[in-house]
Structure 1
Amino acid sequence: MKHIVLAATLGAFLTAGTAAAMAAPLVYTPINPSFGGNPLNSSHLMGLASAQRTATAFDAKKDGDGGTDPGTTPGSSDAELFIRQLQGRLLSALASQVTEAIFGENGAPSGEIVFDGTIIKFNKTLSAIELEITDETGTTVISVPRLQIN
């Protein structure tokens, strides 16, 4: 009887030992780069999110009863959308030119850029870059501190 119990116990240990040898630990690997995943996944995940998104900025406009009114979306024609996109690109190109004039390889210590009734004056000092933007609504002064490396 002792031999049967010993053989059964030995068989149980051998079976448990082989099962433990075949098991591997579970390792969680995040997909989303916001949570430590591969940064190359970001554009793919943004594409998936954009494809699933049905709401637009125009849906934020509320009608009288508090709900959205999709029939009254202003500026939703193709021509108006094209004009808005074109204005955005032109303003972006203008901002790039201003940035190049201030910070570029041949950046000037001070200067003035004029376009369509808007005047941008800039002056680089040791501690800041001062911008003065003048248009038909008034003058705005912006002072951006410069990076000081010791």
Structure 2
Amino acid sequence: MKLRWLFIGFLFTAVNAAATEIVYQPINPSFGGNPLNGNFLLQKAQTQNAHSAPDSDRSFVDRFREALERNIINSLTRRIADGEIVEGLYDTGEYTVEVVGQPDGSVIVYITHNGSGEQTVITMPSI
């Protein structure tokens, strides 16, 4: 009888010892983890990152030309949207823009890339 009680007591002791609470501890410091892990996680992320920053070593002339092209295209877009049909051929350097007004009031804009010859046609109906 003593052996049976000893066995039951041992069984309850073993069960209590194995039934512990699982505690979640975050690793990332952004979510409450240890702040000392931040440098380690940042280094791992940077080594896995295959992207590189775009080259911004453009010359002043290139930046000026791009700004001038944007300004011309912006001016044309604003005029066409306001209803001022400014027909003609505009050369921005990289693109040639041809604006053609139709008798029904609609506007057709042909945009041609001078380097590749690719052409985009935009038809805007009259308002």
Q: Choose 1 or 2 for highest CA Rg.
A: 2
Q: TM-score range by the shorter chain?
A: 0.3 to 0.5
Structure with the bigger RCO (C-alpha within 8 Å, sep 6+) is 2
